[in-house]
Structure 1
C-alpha cells in the first residue's frame, strides 16, 4: 500500500538525474506543502533500522519485509512517539546526536498502514516531502517502486526538450556539436564528421504535480534497427556515480542531457541495447533515419524522428596543450616535485589528455603553490590521491592544522587530509587545483532563538559557522556538544541552515541554568560558549 493517507503526488522519480547521483527512490509531496503528514508502513514487516543524520537522508527509517525487500522512509521530521523515545534514550546513553540503531523482528513489528513517523525536511532535503525507496534486503540494490504499483495519476507523455548532435572523427575527436530545440529540429540535419553521437534533454510530468521529473526509458533506432536503449529499473547504490558517464556533464550548465552513446568507463547496469557503444558511422555520405522514443513509469511515450547525413570536414591541427594521457583502465601516477598525484584504474569514465600546472598561492594560510590538473572539474568515479609536501617550514604545534585545499574561484574549500611521510594526503572527487593550507580559526556560534528568559519556551536554537567549508563526505565538519548544568543534551543539526536546536526535556526544572556549547572544526580548532538562562 501507499506510505501516505492522501493521494500520491510524485515530485521526484526513480532514476532522475541529480548532481553526482541517480535518484534512488521516489519523492512524495506533502498534502498541504508543510511538514507533519503521517507516514505509514507500506507492508507487513518490522522496523530494522533507524538513522539520525544531519546529512543525506536525515531522520530515516527502514522496514524489512518477509518478501525479501526493505522499504526506506527518509527526511522524516520525527518518528512515532514510542520510536522517538527509544531513539532519544539511546542518544543520551551514548551522548551522540547522530546515531544508527538496528532492531530485531521482535521489537517493532508493523502491519500495512501502521503509523511510523511524520513527513519532514531533514538531511539533504529542500522542502517537506517523503523520499521512499525499495531495496533488496541485505544489499544496496534499489528498485523502482513504480514497478510495484506505486504510481501517481499520469496521462501525460514525457517531452524531449533539446537534442545535442555531435560529429566525431575516427579518432574520437569532436568535430562539430550543436544543441537544437525539439521544436526547431529539421527533418534532415547535416552533421560534420565521420561518426555521429547524440544526447537528449528530456523530462516528464504527471497529473498530480507541475514539477518536472525524470523519464523511465529511452530507445534510439537508426535505419529502423534498435541501436541504443536503456531502462531505469534497478541498480546498486555504489554504482550511482556512473551518472557522470551517463550524462553529458560538460553541458550541465545548459541542461542535463542523457548521452545516447556509452563511454568505455561506464559500467552502469541499465543499458539493454548498445550497438557500437552508440556511435554511428556517417562517413558514407548517405542519409540515415534516427528514431527516438522515450517513456515514463506509467507507459506514456513520445517519439521523434529525423534524418542525418555526414558531410566533409577539415580536421584542425591544434598544438598539443595536454601532453599527459590518462587511460580509464590503467593507473596513473605523477610526481610534480613537491608532491604526487595517484589515480587508480577505473577512476575516469573515458581516456583523457591532461596537463599538470602550478600557480602561485598568495593566501597567508598557504604552505605550497597551487598544483592542478587541466582541464579541471572532470568528475571522477574513484578518488584521486593528492599528496603535497610543505614548501616552507611549518611550526610543529600547527601541523594538525594543515589540510589540502581545493581552489574554488578566488577562494578555496577543504578536502581534508592527514600527514603521511612528510606530506599531507587527501582524496579528491574532481580534478582541479590543490594546495597545502592551514586553518587556525575556531568555529563561531550565534544565538538564534535564545535569550535569558526562556520560561515557557519549547526549544532554543543557535547558528554555527566556520571560516573554511569542509566538503569531505566522511568528515564531521563542525563537531558540537551542549550541556545544561553539566549534563549533556541532544542537539538537532540542520545542515542547510547551520542551525543547532534543542527541544527542552521534561526533566529540566524551573530556575536559572547554565548552558555550555562546545565547537570543534575539522582542524581541531575549538571554541566554547557559555550562557545563563531562566526556565
Structure 2
C-alpha cells in the first residue's frame, strides 16, 4: 500500500494530472493485451487517440464493456472507426470501441433497428441513459476490421464525458498489464538551421548528426558546430514487454545547460487540436521520405496543449564564445528514459552546402489572406491557414492546376475554384475537382454554381477538373439469378467505380429496403439473410449504386430460397 501511495503521489507531481481510477475499467478483451498502436502515436494528420489492441490477426473476438454504464452513442461509417460503440459510465468517463465487426445481443438489435429506420448503413445515433444499459463484463460486440483499419484490431479509448477530451488509458491502470521495462529507441537526430545566415557543420540545410549508443543505453552525439540559431528533431520509438512492434513515445524534454526547456507529453488532448501533428513533425520531410521527425522547437508557437514551449520555443542561439550543452530525454509512460547528450560549439565556418534554392514566384503571408488567379483557376488562402510565410509555386497548364508540392501543412481550408465555359450543361452535372497524385485521382467534394466549380481542401498539390460519365460496376460474387440459394447465409457483391467513387448504395428485396453493409477496402456489399427480409420461394432483388457525381447502375435479378431447411 505504501508503494502504491508513493506512486500515485509521484504521478501527481510529475504529470500534474487528476487521480484517475486505476481499477475501475477492465480489459475490453479476454486475451493477453498487445498494442499495435498507443496513445498519442503519430498518424497521418492526427495523433492516435487511444489504444489499438491486437486481436490475434483475426476478427470475431468478444468485446466486453469495460465498466457499468449505458450505450450513449452508436456510429456506423465506412471510414474512421467503422462500426463504433460508445459507453458512458457514471464516474464521468466514456469508453469507445471501434472497428467492430458487429454488435452483440441487444446492442446489435438496436444497431439494425436504427439502420432500417434510417434506411442507411451509415448512422450516428445518440441514446438516453435509460435505454441500453450494460454491466461491466457484458459482451457488447465482436472485434473486426471496419472503417479506416489496416488489419483486424480493436480501437479502444477513454474520454472525459463532459469535455470529450481523450485521456491516455495508461492512467487507468493498463500499465499493469502492458508492462514496459525497455527504454525508447532513438533512430535519428536532425539539427535545423533556423536563421537566414545560420550555418551548421558547414551546411545551411538540415543535417543528420551521428550518434553513438553507450553501455548505459544513452546516446552521445558528434559535436555540432553552429553559427546562428538552430533547433533539433528526433525520430524515436518505444517498445514494451508484450508487443513486438514499435509504438509512439510518451514524453520528450530538452535541457539547455541543465535547464529544462521545450517539452511535451501525451496525457490528454482534444480532437480540435489533433491536426497539429503536422506542426510537431517535419511535415515536408515526411511527405518526401515517409520519415516522421518530431521537432523539438517551434518557430512560431501553435495551439497544441501537450507542449510547453520554454522561453525561446526550443530554439537555440549560438553566438561567439558560447558553448552549449544540450540534452534530450525521451521517456515512455513507465519512466524508462533514453538520454541524448549533444555538445554544441560556436564556429564561424565557411559554407559548403548552401540552402535549397527557392524558385517559386508567389508569397504566401501566413497572417494575411492570399488570392491567386491564373487562367480559369482561382486559389484563396485565408489568414492563419499556414503557420509561416513561404514562397509558393502556382501554375495552370493544360487544364491542370499545380499548387505547390504538399510540403507545407495547412490548418484551415484553402478554396480552389475552376471556371469552365467549354462544356455543356449536361456535362457539367457530372464534373468534379479531383486531386491528382501520380496515376491516381481522388475525389474532392465539389460545389457547382453555373459554370463555376469550387472545392475546399487542406492540402497543397495538383488539381484538375474531371468529367465522370461512367457508372459504377456491380457483380454478384456467386451466381444467384434464377438459382435456389437456400444454403447461403448472405448475398455478397463486388462494387467499384473508376473515377469519382461510390457515394450511395440501396438494396430492395421484393420492394422492401434491405441493409447492405459496404466495406470500401474490399469493395464488398453484403446483405445478411438473418435480417428477416427474405421470403419463402421467389425473391426479387434490386440494387442501385450511385457515384459522387450522380451516375447510377441498377442491378436486378430473381432468386429462390427456402427458409425451412
TM over 0.5: yes
2:7 maps to none
Q: Is the 8 A contact 1:140 1:238 kept in 2?
A: no
Aligned partners of 1:385, 1:190: CA distance in 2, in Å? 43
Q: Which moved more, 1:347-356 or 1:45-54?
A: 347-356
How far off is 1:320 after superposition?
5.8
From 273, 290, 303, the equivalent of 1:267 is 303
1:298 maps to 334
Change (3 A) 1:458 1:279: same
Aligned partners of 1:171, 1:45: CA distance in 2, in Å? 60
Change (3 A) 1:396 1:170: closer
2:143 maps to 119
1:389 maps to 419
Gap regions ≥5 residues in structure 1: 361-368, 471-476
Q: TM-score, normalised by structure 1?
A: 0.91
Provide the secondary structure at the position in 2 that maps to 1:107.
Answer: coil
Change (3 A) 1:187 1:432: closer
How far off is 1:7 after superposition?
2.7
Aligned partners of 2:170, 2:437: CA distance in 1, in Å? 40
Aligned partners of 1:469, 1:284: CA distance in 2, in Å? 59
Q: Which moved more, 1:261-270 or 1:167-176?
A: 167-176
Matched residue count: 519
Check if 1:350 corresponds to 2:388: yes
Check if 1:23 corresponds to 2:48: yes
Once the two structures are superposed, the pairs formed by residues 92-107 of structure 1 within 5 Å of their partners are 92-107=116-131
2:39 maps to 14
Q: Which moved more, 1:397-406 or 1:283-292?
A: 283-292
Once the two structures are superposed, the pairs formed by residues 102-501 of structure 1 within 5 Å of their partners are 102-151=126-175, 152-170=178-196, 175-180=204-209, 182-183=211-212, 187-252=221-286, 253-264=289-300, 266-284=302-320, 286-311=322-347, 312-314=349-351, 316=354, 321-360=359-398, 369-390=399-420, 392-420=421-449, 422-451=451-480, 452-469=483-500, 477-501=502-526
Aligned partners of 1:431, 1:377: CA distance in 2, in Å? 8
Q: Is the 8 A contact 1:219 1:292 kept in 2?
A: yes
Provide the secondary structure at the position in 2 that maps to 1:84.
Answer: helix
Q: Is the 8 A contact 2:377 2:401 kept in 1?
A: no
Aligned partners of 1:35, 1:8: CA distance in 2, in Å? 15
Q: Which moved more, 1:296-305 or 1:258-267?
A: 258-267
Q: Is the 8 A contact 1:157 1:301 kept in 2?
A: yes
Q: Is the 8 A contact 1:187 1:305 kept in 2?
A: yes
Q: TM-score, normalised by structure 2?
A: 0.87
2:558 maps to 532
How far off is 1:172 after superposition?
7.7
Aligned partners of 2:520, 2:255: CA distance in 1, in Å? 46
Change (3 A) 1:86 1:318: closer
Higher strand share: 1
How far off is 1:196 after superposition?
1.6
How far off is 1:138 after superposition?
4.2
Q: Is the 8 A contact 1:36 1:77 kept in 2?
A: yes
Aligned structure 1 segments of 4 or more residues deviating by more than 6 angstroms? 171-174
From 539, 546, 550, the equivalent of 1:513 is 539
Q: Which moved more, 1:194-203 or 1:502-511?
A: 502-511
2:19 maps to none
Aligned partners of 1:275, 1:265: CA distance in 2, in Å? 11
Aligned partners of 1:413, 1:507: CA distance in 2, in Å? 36
How far off is 1:334 after superposition?
1.8
Aligned partners of 2:131, 2:382: CA distance in 1, in Å? 45
Gap regions ≥5 residues in structure 2: 1-25, 214-218
Provide the secondary structure at the position in 1 that maps to 2:458.
Answer: strand
Change (3 A) 1:410 1:7: closer
How far off is 1:309 after superposition?
2.2
Q: Is the 8 A contact 2:284 2:406 kept in 1?
A: no
Q: Is the 8 A contact 2:222 2:343 kept in 1?
A: yes
Change (3 A) 1:38 1:198: same
2:14 maps to none
How far off is 1:431 after superposition?
0.7
Q: Is the 8 A contact 2:296 2:314 kept in 1?
A: yes
Provide the secondary structure at the position in 1 that maps to 2:272.
Answer: helix
Provide the secondary structure at the position in 2 that maps to 1:212.
Answer: coil
Aligned partners of 1:317, 1:297: CA distance in 2, in Å? 39
Aligned partners of 1:110, 1:22: CA distance in 2, in Å? 30
Deviation string 1:161-190 (CA, Å, 9 cap, x unpaired) is: 111122233468981322346448764323
Aligned partners of 1:189, 1:449: CA distance in 2, in Å? 67
How far off is 1:405 after superposition?
2.0
